Each structure stands twice: as structure tokens, then as C-alpha cells.
Structure 1
Amino acid sequence: MSTDVVAAVDIGGTKIAAGLVDDTGRVRHQIQVATPAGPAAIVEVVAELVTGLRSRAVVRAVGVGAPGVIDPAAGVVRSATDILPGWAGTPIRELLAARLGLPVAVINDVGAAAVGAARGPELRGYPEILHVSVGTGIGGALIRNGQLVSGPHAVAGAVAHLLVPVAGVIPCGCGRFDHLEAVAAGPAIAAAIAKETGSAPLPLTGAIRVPGAEAVIAAAARLLGRTLAGLVCAVDVDAVALGGGVVHGVPGFAGLVRDALHAEALAPLRTLPVLVPGAGADAPLLGAAHLARQTVAGADARHLARQTGVHP
């Protein structure tokens, strides 16, 4: 393995993944554990995972992709839904840096996935990308000229709370109604399958095998595609990238989203590429690692400037 190694962490609603990423962009020694309850426990688990990875290699920095609206400068969760109760306000960077003694960079998890996917071969020819992740929740991020667009409130590209034409009785994790995440995220699809088929509630991995589930899944995918058709009209990108557990775990889901988007979109967008990048589940780790490397490079440049008096 290259000696230039960073640790990357992807915090999700159901699992936390961590791995070593070398300078060739390969994820090594990946570990996954269930996400514990409570912010303190989550930070503790992340610190333990990184400590374990450090026994395998000299780690220069840590990059973290985390749910919620993340202030990238401070590494603090500014707001979050109840996918992770109590998560809002968590100073992730400060807590991990104190525990690990390493530079720590924190970004929204879907932003990390977008950066990781955009660096892959499938998306290199598309400078402007809308990345949408469908899993425990629904997230989005915008890439312009290879760089993540944060926006003044750090929510550029977010799609979870777009309004959709539903009955208004399904609450979103934010507490409001008629939001995309409440009807097209993994748990929402699983709940709809149980309701429509009269089957016992199951995680989506089991629910997709229930007789009658295909129609429910198709309805959710089409609703997502139609909603994204409106969004791409507003932001106008070169391509849409799809990722997340539902996209990778439910056969045909991405194709249904693509077809619905093309059917609903304005004429210039009816051939817009809708892609599932090959980075797959590794995309958040690759993006978090890239952010960690940028943090190290920035720190090195500042140190050199102090030593030489020559500022970049």
C-alpha cells in the first residue's frame, strides 16, 4: 500500500463504514458496524474505528461524511432530521480531532459521495452533476467543474424536502408532510409495501421479495424521477448520478427513475444521462478521503508559508 494514507468514514442512519484510502484512490481494510444510538456513541464508535485502522498504517488525516446540514468550516452539524435523533449541534471535527490528534475534515455524507463518484471514470466527462443518494434517507449534492457546491446555507442540491404530490398524511423525518424522503426513501418504500400488500413490516431487503412489492417500488421510483425532472430543469446539469442502498439493492430501480425523469423533463433534458457510478458504496469513503487530503495539503501549504514567508 502507498504510504500516503488517510482514513475515511461514512456515517449513515443504519451503519458506519470506515476504511483506509491510499493515494491511488483504493479503499483498503474497510470495516462496517451498526450505527449506535446517540451522538456521543456515534463519535466514540468512529474514533474506535479510526484507531483500529491506524494499527494498519500511518494515517495522515481523517475525512468524515455525515448526515445533516454540515458546516464544513467548523465541522459541526447545523441541522438534522430524526434519522439520527439528537444529531444536530454535534461538533464532529472538534471531538474527533481531540480524541485522535489528527486533522479532521467533515462534510455532508451525500456531498462526500458526490465528490467520490465525480472522480470516477463514468462521470469525468460531465463537469456539472446532480448526485442523488437513496437509502435510509434521500440526499442530494451538486458538483460544478469538479467541485462540490455548498451554497450560503450548505444545502445546495438537497432533495429530501422537495414537495411531492402525496396525500399529506406521511410525516417526513423533519416533521413536515408531502416531502420526497417520506415516500421514496428505503424505510418509506418498505412501509408502503407492508401497507399495500398487508404483509408484516420488513426491512427493504426483505420487503422487495413480498408478492405485490414491485408495483409499490415502481411507484416510488417514478415519483422520484418525476420530482428530479423538475429539479434538473431548475439547476440544469450535464448528468444525474444515482447512488445509495436502494439504488444498488433494488433491481431496476435506477432505470425506473431514469425513464420517469425523461418522460417528465423539458425537451432539452429528455436524453440527460442518468448514471449509476461504479464507485457504488465506496463513493462516500472516496469523497471523504479526497476532502481529508485537501485539508492536509492546505495545512502543509500554510506551514510552508510560515516557515518561508512566501504565501501561496
Structure 2
Amino acid sequence: MSILLGVDIGGTKIAVGLVDAATGQVLYKARIPTEAENGGASVLARAIELAKQVLPRAAGAEGAGVTGIGIGAGGQIDPVAGVVVNATEILPGWKGQRLKTAFEAAFALPAFADNDVNALAVGESRYGAGKDYRHLIYLGLGTGVGGALVHDGKLVHGPRGAGSEPGHLVLYPDAPPYANGTRGCLEQFTSGPAILERFGDPTLTGPELAALAHAGDTQALACLAAVGRDLGIGLATLANIYGPEAFLLGGGVIDGFGELLLAHARAELFERALPAVKETPILRAGLGTDAPLIGAAALAL
């Protein structure tokens, strides 16, 4: 059995797990708070220390050995050098951290690092809902909207590691300015906070809005229909440009609203996309809560 060490580094928690390279099964996992306020060097050191505690567990599987390390983390990451080239204040001092070399020095194993959403795309492509497709686009809809392009089974990176960012696709150029520096981008209209803002009740949570919609509330249904249409417009544009075999959607927004959004997105895709791609499947991600760990581990492949 070949085992991969997956490391998921986020703004609130660090998770490390042992993953069966053949099946994607998580054999063992542990997590600790990130303590991001202590700075990027401290976060990296905590991740390595947790990995040192998890790694010996691989000895419990007869004939098993850890063959590589994959690190999925927040921020823009150079996938060749494994260096964080840009990050938000969710992880203060994270920019400049050398993830690949730090883990290779600590464990004498090959290590690979990439953005956490890219890692999710790789995991779903290899082990999850996208495993039957060689060409797909992954979108993660949550607090923001991230994404990744998988072509012939491999991630596509721009020359500066900044390509394949569907969340920044512009839908409405005359919209008010948005936090990420664009106007009217997909994220501005389909992220979790954007959906609640569109509904107009700042006291409501996502699950409460979903419950209203499932109960037949006309305002909630209209809100989600509008969001689903905007999502479909974005998918149609991506389909016309890339022609993927499938779209794969995950994240808290999809987990919470599901078909309340996706039915409208499929209709919009069919209406707007070119004939060859208008019936591109829109699938839900399938790896569940372990997806970040499995995806991180899959980077090592």
C-alpha cells in the first residue's frame, strides 16, 4: 500500500491525514487550531509538528509506506517552487512561506504545495465525483468563489500561478466595486455573503434561507433563482471558452442550497452556451468533509 500525507492549512485550522494513494481513503487524521495571529512562520511550524505526530501512524498498515506529501493552503502559491506568493490577512505573514522546501527538509520526502481550491479540484478529479472525466472545471462556492481547471487530468496554472480563477469572471461590469478589486464578478453575486445580501435580511443565516425556500417562501425562491441564473451565466461563458466535459461544484453554498440553485444554473447554461457544450453536466462534489485532506494528498501524485 502506498500512503500519502495530506496537509490542509486554513485560516482557522490545520489538518493532517494519511491517505491511501490507490483509493483516496483517509486512514488517519488529526487537526489543531491554526493560531494564524502568531504569523506565517508559526503556522508553518505548527503544520510540520502535527505532521510529525501523524506520520508514525502509517507504520500500522502492513507493507505501507508514505511516498509523498501534498500541502493545500490558502493564498496564491507557486506550484513549482511551493512558495506562497500572495495571501490575505486571514493568514497574516503567510506570503513568502516556503512550504515545499520546509516539508522536504523536515521529512526527506517529496512535497508538493498548491492553493487549497486547486487541491480540492485534484482530489475530486482523481477520487471523487469527477473521476470519470479528464477535462473539468471545479468551482468552490462559499465565503468567496474559487475554482480550478483540470485539463487531461492535470491542473492548469497560468504562467504566474494566477490562472483559472472563475470567481473573478465579470458578469456585470457596471456593478459597484467589490472587495477583490473587480466590478460585477461571479463571486460578487454567487458567494454565501452575496446571497444573503441579495435576500435583504442581514440577520438571516444560509440554513435559514434554505429552509424558507424549501417551505415555499416566494421571496427566498426568487432570490435563489436569481443567484442560480447568475451562476449559469458564468458557467455558460466558461463552457464556451474551455469546453469541459463537466462542471464540478462544491463548497458551503452548494451544500446548503443544492438544486435550489443548480436547477436554474443548468437552465441558464442550456439557454446561453453554444450547442456543443450546452448540456455539459453540472455535478456536485462528492468527497465530503475530508475533501481538503484528500485533495491535498492528491497533489503529491
TM-score, length basis structure 2 = 0.81
Where in structure 2 are the equivalents of 1:223-242 lying within 5 Å? 223-242=230-249
TM-fit CA distance, 1:282: 3.4
TM-fit CA distance, 1:122: 4.3
1:157 to 164, 167, 179: 164
TM-score, length basis structure 1 = 0.78
Q: Which residue of 2 aligns with 1:302?
A: none
Q: Which residue of 2 aligns with 1:22?
A: 20
Q: Which runs of 5+ in 1 are unaligned?
A: 295-312
2:254 to 247, 257, 271: 247
Cα shift readout 1:44-64 (whole Å, capped 9, x = no counterpart): 342243233224224443211
Cα shift readout 1:1-33 (whole Å, capped 9, x = no counterpart): x4x322112334554433210233211223445
Q: More deviation in 281-290 or 68-77?
A: 281-290
> In structure 2, do the counterparts of structure 1 residues 219 and 36 end up closer, same or farther at CA, with 3 Å as the change threshold?
farther
RMSD between aligned residues: 2.9
Is the CA contact 1:242–1:254 (under 8 Å) kept in the aligned structure 2?
A: no
TM-fit CA distance, 1:153: 2.3
Where in structure 2 are the equivalents of 1:28-67 lying within 5 Å? 28-37=27-36, 38-58=39-59, 59-67=66-74
> In structure 2, do the counterparts of structure 1 residues 121 and 243 end up closer, same or farther at CA, with 3 Å as the change threshold?
closer
Q: Which residue of 1 aligns with 2:62?
A: none
> In structure 2, do the counterparts of structure 1 residues 206 and 80 end up closer, same or farther at CA, with 3 Å as the change threshold?
farther
Q: Which runs of 5+ in 2 are unaligned?
A: 60-65
Task: Provide the rounded CA distance (Å) in 1 between the counterparts of 2:187 and 2:13.
Answer: 19
TM-fit CA distance, 1:154: 2.1
TM-fit CA distance, 1:116: 1.4
TM-fit CA distance, 1:100: 4.8
1:263 to 257, 271, 274: 271
Is the CA contact 1:254–1:276 (under 8 Å) kept in the aligned structure 2?
A: no
Q: Establish whether residue 131 from structure 1 lines up as the match of residue 149 from structure 2.
A: no
> In structure 2, do the counterparts of structure 1 residues 53 and 207 end up closer, same or farther at CA, with 3 Å as the change threshold?
farther
1:286 to 263, 286, 294: 294
Q: Secondary structure at the match of 1:63?
A: strand
Cα shift readout 1:213-256 (whole Å, capped 9, x = no counterpart): 44434333321221121122111111111122222233323333
Task: Provide the rounded CA distance (Å) in 1 between the counterparts of 2:221 and 2:34.
Answer: 29
Q: Which residue of 2 aligns with 1:5?
A: 3
Q: Secondary structure at the match of 1:256?
A: helix
> In structure 2, do the counterparts of structure 1 residues 224 and 47 end up closer, same or farther at CA, with 3 Å as the change threshold?
same
Q: Establish whether residue 189 from structure 1 lines up as the match of residue 195 from structure 2.
A: yes
Task: Provide the rounded CA distance (Å) in 2 between the counterparts of 1:90 and 1:190.
Answer: 35
Is the CA contact 1:13–1:136 (under 8 Å) kept in the aligned structure 2?
A: no
Task: Provide the rounded CA distance (Å) in 2 between the counterparts of 1:215 and 1:14.
Answer: 34
TM-fit CA distance, 1:81: 4.3
Number of aligned positions between the proteins: 286
Q: Which residue of 1 aligns with 2:87?
A: 80
Is the CA contact 1:191–1:201 (under 8 Å) kept in the aligned structure 2?
A: no
Where in structure 2 are the equivalents of 1:86-235 lying within 5 Å? 86-100=93-107, 102-120=109-127, 122-165=129-172, 168-169=175-176, 171-172=178-179, 174-193=180-199, 196-197=200-201, 199-200=202-203, 202=205, 204-205=206-207, 208-209=210-211, 212-235=219-242
> In structure 2, do the counterparts of structure 1 residues 76 and 126 end up closer, same or farther at CA, with 3 Å as the change threshold?
same
